[in-house]
Amino acid sequence: MKRRTFLSTLATTGAALAAGDRLSAATASKPATVAIIGCGWFGPLVYDTFAKHFDVTCVALCDPDTAALAKTGEMIARHQQAAPRTFADFREMLAATAPEIALISTPDHWHALPAIAAMQAGADVILEKPISRDVIEGEAIVAAARKYKRVVQVNLQRRSTRCLAEARDRYLRSGRIGKLAVVETYSYLHGRSAEAVPESTPPATLDYDLWTGPAPLLPYRKVRWRNFAEYGNGQIGDLGVHMIDTVRWMLDLGWPESIASTGGVLVDTDASATIPDTQRSVFRYPGLELTWEHRTWGAPPIPSRHWTDLWGARFLGSAGTLRISIFGYEFIPADGGPREGFTMLSESGDLDKIDGDRQTAALEEIHREHLADFMRARVTRQDPVSGIEQGHISSAACSLANLALQLGRPLRYDPATRTIPGDAEATRGLTRAYRAPWIHPDPARV
């Protein structure tokens, strides 16, 4: 098939499917009530797409920042007349409103407790990645989903990106890529603050103690929370989890046999941020090495026409290289043949005609497909494409890489025993300390 013919066919087919069967199947489900826990950014963005395409009503908003509640309320007003009730504490919200769906988009350190509480209250859950701040939190979320028979969709949206499924089938499952021994995932986006940021007083709108919750109560600084290891999982937990999960999905991989990691704060040492500015991690599978690399300093080692070029994965095969990003892919045959590919950032799908103005529409299409899959799963009561167990494996892999970096040695996690056999110190590191009065969830007692 000639490359431009292939691109045209894929673009036409994708558009027809996106507008047809998948959405009609999803909207056959009954109307649902939704609560948003975490109103800072991504939750409201996802709900905006949710309300445009599905029969949902937002009944409650929860956030310890009244400014975030007000801003999200303005967005909700574009979709419905009745204003949702507002809460600071998710426990009070769940008891008062009993939503059918909980959309959880809090910082990482606040994923486990609201997710488990929502499932206990009878809600299905849309949960941001990574699903947890530590490994045992993730095990507890999986245990709760199974115990209460709840549907949980993790927002690892590459699994709902049509062109990546096409790339998987055409080059990986078909064997066209040849012998595959190494897959590299990476980010060269500068997502870590390089500056020293002074302590300051929290905004009057923010209940900072409640926002901190089970994490250590650090002095407040006006810098994004993802810069701090106390709240999140660093660049690998923010960006790496997407690409590691995509590779696992495309190659049908489960738990890695071992995980090693090196790096640290090597360049921007004066910054207030505590997450690594440099990290290299290796996830070993039988006959395959899956790697992650990030640098938040210096020039990127690869050319870029769009910011997403700097965040992706490379499948290195004996017959060619498949490179993917969040909006598309390209395949470069090893024999020097013409490259093939597709990008959602072009009207035609042509790799050579990138239009950055299409980014918003592309993101909405991906979110819509991911939500459609969740809504179908609510009808069938089966795992969605990005179900909780898959989200846990990918999230835990990132947490384990950070733990391996911290301890300075490779780790082998045993999910059956929830331990790192023969390494008591590393096993203790699977569970972070919670600040009182919050109690770390136990998978055996959710």
pLDDT tens for 411-425 read 999 999 999 999 999
Residue 20 has pLDDT above 70, yes or no: no
CA distance 358 to 380: 33
Q: Within 10 A of 209 (CB to CB), how many other CB atoms are there?
A: 11
Which residues neighbour 382 within 8 Å (Cβ) at sequence distance 6 or greater? 151
Q: Which two tokens stand for residue 235?
A: 């660049």
The mean per-residue pLDDT over the stretch 120-126 comes to 98
Q: Choose the most confident range, by mean pLDDT, from 4-8, 13-17, 142-146, 298-302.
A: 142-146
Banded model confidence at residue 292, pLDDT cuts 50, 70, 90: very high
Name the residue with tokens 């918003």.
360
Q: Considering the domain boundaries, does residue 41 fall inside one?
A: no
Q: Which two tokens stand for residue 428?
A: 């203790």
User: With contact defined as beta carbons under 8 Å apart, do 153 and 54 qualify?
Assistant: no
User: Is the bond preceding residue 338 a cis peptide, omega within 30 degrees?
Assistant: no
Q: Considering the domain boundaries, does residue 171 fall inside one?
A: yes
User: Is the bond preceding residue 437 a cis peptide, omega within 30 degrees?
Assistant: yes
Q: What is the pLDDT of residue 332?
A: 98
- Rg of the Cα atoms in the chain: 22
Q: What is the pLDDT of residue 124?
A: 98
Banded model confidence at residue 299, pLDDT cuts 50, 70, 90: very high
CATH number at residue 272: 3.30.360.10
Structure confidence by residue, pLDDT tens digits, 142-190: 999 999 999 999 999 999 999 999 999 999 999 999 999 999 999 999 9
Residue 225 has pLDDT above 90, yes or no: yes
**Quick one: how far is CA 346 from the chain centroid?**
24
Strand partners, 330: 323, 341
Q: Considering the domain boundaries, does residue 168 fall inside one?
A: yes
The mean per-residue pLDDT over the stretch 336-361 comes to 92
Strand partners, 290: 183, 283
Strand ranges of the sheet holding 278-285, from the earlier edge strand across to the other edge = 258-264, 278-285, 288-295, 180-187, 311-317, 320-325, 328-333, 340-343
Q: Within 10 A of 147 (CB to CB), how many other CB atoms are there?
A: 13
CA distance 325 to 299: 19
Q: What is the pLDDT of residue 255?
A: 98
Banded model confidence at residue 357, pLDDT cuts 50, 70, 90: confident
Q: Give the domain extent around 352.
A: 159-377+391-417
The mean per-residue pLDDT over the stretch 58-75 comes to 98
Residue 357 DSSP class = G
Q: Which two tokens stand for residue 51?
A: 């309300």
Q: What is the pLDDT of residue 137?
A: 98
The mean per-residue pLDDT over the stretch 179-203 comes to 97
Banded model confidence at residue 4, pLDDT cuts 50, 70, 90: very low
CA distance 133 to 232: 6
Calculate the average pLDDT of the chain: 93
The mean per-residue pLDDT over the stretch 91-112 comes to 98
Banded model confidence at residue 21, pLDDT cuts 50, 70, 90: very low
Residue 109 DSSP class = G
Q: What is the pLDDT of residue 2?
A: 31
pTM as predicted: 0.94
Q: Considering the domain boundaries, does residue 107 fall inside one?
A: no
Banded model confidence at residue 5, pLDDT cuts 50, 70, 90: very low
Residue 18 has pLDDT above 50, yes or no: no
Banded model confidence at residue 3, pLDDT cuts 50, 70, 90: very low
Q: Considering the domain boundaries, does residue 26 fall inside one?
A: no
Q: Within 10 A of 138 (CB to CB), how many other CB atoms are there?
A: 28
Q: Considering the domain boundaries, does residue 294 fall inside one?
A: yes
Residue 54 has pLDDT above 90, yes or no: yes
CA distance 264 to 195: 16
Q: Considering the domain boundaries, does residue 431 fall inside one?
A: no
What's the distance, Cα to Cα, between the start and end of the chain in Å?
Answer: 53
Domain count, the chain: 1
Residue 8 has pLDDT above 70, yes or no: no
The helix/strand/coil state of 281 is strand
Identify the residue with better confidence: 51 or 26. Answer: 51
HSE of 62 in the Cβ direction (CA atoms, 13 Å)? 27
Q: Considering the domain boundaries, does residue 192 fall inside one?
A: yes
* Residue 6 CA: distances (Å) to CA of 11, 227, 362, 385: 9, 42, 19, 26
Banded model confidence at residue 29, pLDDT cuts 50, 70, 90: low
Burial environment of residue 33 by CB neighbours within 10 A (0 to 12, 13 to 18, 19 or more): middle
